[in-house]
């Protein structure tokens, strides 16, 4: 809850038609965590919690290690104690070493030994821990490596709306489009990419949600009491540069978005994009929402007319 507001729960209630049980529980509080596991007969856990800014993690490495790793260990211990073995984990493409980068994108077997920032390291370490828990404690693990989730839920009730000034590209562009901020800083125009700016794959959050739901069916095919550790890239395979991202919003809006070039941002890589074929072949998952559709939806939330 450190970068959102409790009012989000009301909107979730509206979407579901009932109020979901909610505990504002800190993972550091093992006692409260156990009370929750005691109360419910959980089938599995979807673990999204964590700090997530590569840049910020360079300044606050220990906080990232503590928050993302130490407190996750409490969750895993609790799961084991209560016999809840299925977990889906939000990993990141930030764990890949980009040295093997080529135009087909990185697949799940690409090198992951050389992360570029503490945030990436936290995800890598947690994947290793989960791998061991699968091997030695019979955990059933699916780790989704995604990179830049964007946009909003199709109900128009949930959208990316950080409490603080956004770190991420698209929420920042939206603040400029809506007039809340004057311009966007483009971090680096001297990368070895076609227009010199950083390249990423931006994936609509609704596509990601579908991927997470499919894990249930996948676990059913494995059966109970069979340990597993699977990793999947969830990507659109349509990567774009920072300038192309700004231009896409401009084109949908028919309005200029002001930007200035600044120095590269600490911890940033020139380009990262992955190959999502494994998710397609095994989970039957592919992204469906186009970038333009995503942008149009998001403009609506921001009350900007296109």
So which residues are the catalytic ones? 119
Largest Cα span, the chain:
56
Q: Which of 257, 268, 277, 293 binds ligand UDP (CB under 6 A)?
A: 268
Least Å distance, CB 12 to ligand UDP, is 24
Least Å distance, CB 61 to ligand UDP, is 16
**Which listed range, 2-10, 185-193, 211-219, 282-290, lies at the site for ligand UDP (CB under 6 A)?**
185-193
Residues 235-264 touching ligand UDP, rule: CB under 6 A, are 242
Tell me the chain's radius of gyration from C-alpha atoms.
Answer: 20
Least Å distance, CB 147 to ligand UDP, is 6
DSSP structural state of residue 293: H
Q: Is 74 in the site for ligand UDP (CB under 6 A)?
A: no
- Go through 138-173 and write b for each residue having 16 or more CB atoms within 10 A of its CB, e for each that does not: ebbbbbbbbbbbbbbbeeeebbbeeeeebebbbbbb
The C-alpha atoms of residue 6 and residue 160 are separated, in whole angstroms, by: 14
Least Å distance, CB 259 to ligand UDP, is 8
The C-alpha atoms of residue 256 and residue 274 are separated, in whole angstroms, by: 30
For residue 147, give the 3-state DSSP assignment: coil
Q: Which of 51, 106, 184, 252 binds ligand UDP (CB under 6 A)?
A: 184
CB of 214 or CB of 253, closer to ligand UDP = 253
The C-alpha atoms of residue 210 and residue 216 are separated, in whole angstroms, by: 11
Q: Is 54 in the site for ligand UDP (CB under 6 A)?
A: yes
Residue 123's contacts (CB-CB under 8 Å, 6 or more residues apart) are: 68, 91, 92, 94, 95, 115
Residues 76-105, one symbol each (x = binds ligand UDP by CB under 6 A, - = not), give: ------------------------------
Q: Which of 116, 121, 143, 148 binds ligand UDP (CB under 6 A)?
A: 148
Q: Is 198 in the site for ligand UDP (CB under 6 A)?
A: yes
DSSP string, 248-272: HHHHHHTS---EEEEPPPTT--SB-
The C-alpha atoms of residue 3 and residue 19 are separated, in whole angstroms, by: 21
Least Å distance, CB 185 to ligand UDP, is 5
Q: How many residues bind ligand UDP (CB under 6 A)?
A: 15
Q: How many alpha carbons fall within 13 Å on the CB side of residue 219?
A: 22
Q: Is 167 in the site for ligand UDP (CB under 6 A)?
A: yes
DSSP structural state of residue 274: B
Q: Is 64 in the site for ligand UDP (CB under 6 A)?
A: no
Q: How is residue 37 written in tokens?
A: 């596991």
Q: Is 175 in the site for ligand UDP (CB under 6 A)?
A: no
Q: Which of 89, 151, 172, 215 binds ligand UDP (CB under 6 A)?
A: 172
Report angle CA 140, 133, 113 to the nearest 5 degrees: 105
Residues that bind ligand UDP (CB under 6 A): 54, 148, 167-169, 172, 184-187, 198, 200, 242, 265, 268
């Amino acid at each position: 809850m450190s970068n959102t507001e409790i009012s989000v729960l009301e909107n979730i209630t509206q979407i579901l038609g009932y109020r979901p049980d909610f505990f504002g529980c800190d993972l550091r509080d093992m006692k409260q965590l156990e009370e929750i596991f005691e109360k419910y007969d959980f089938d599995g856990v979807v673990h999204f919690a964590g700090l997530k800014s590569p840049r910020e993690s360079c300044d606050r490495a220990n906080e990232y290690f503590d928050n993302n790793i130490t407190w996750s260990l409490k969750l895993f211990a609790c799961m084991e104690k209560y016999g809840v073995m299925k977990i889906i984990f939000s990993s990141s493409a930030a764990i890949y070493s980009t040295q093997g980068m080529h135009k087909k994108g990185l697949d799940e077997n690409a090198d992951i030994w050389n992360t570029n920032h503490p945030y990436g390291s936290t995800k890598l370490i947690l994947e290793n821990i989960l791998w061991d828990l699968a091997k030695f404690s019979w955990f059933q693990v699916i780790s989704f490596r995604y990179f830049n989730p964007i946009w909003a839920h199709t109900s128009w009730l949930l959208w990316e709306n950080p409490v603080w000034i956004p770190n991420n590209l698209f929420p920042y562009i939206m603040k400029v489009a809506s007039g809340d901020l004057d311009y966007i800083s483009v971090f680096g125009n001297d990368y070895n990419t076609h227009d010199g700016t950083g390249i990423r794959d931006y994936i609509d959050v609704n596509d990601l949600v579908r991927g997470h739901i499919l894990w249930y069916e996948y676990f059913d095919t494995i059966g109970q009491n069979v340990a597993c550790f699977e990793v999947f890239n969830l990507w659109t395979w349509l990567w774009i540069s920072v300038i192309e991202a700004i231009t896409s919003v401009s084109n949908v809006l028919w309005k200029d978005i002001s930007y200035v070039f600044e120095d590269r941002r600490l911890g940033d890589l020139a380009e990262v994009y992955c190959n999502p074929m494994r998710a397609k072949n095994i989970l039957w998952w592919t992204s469906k929402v186009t970038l333009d559709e995503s942008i149009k939806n998001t403009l609506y939330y921001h009350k900007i007319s296109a």
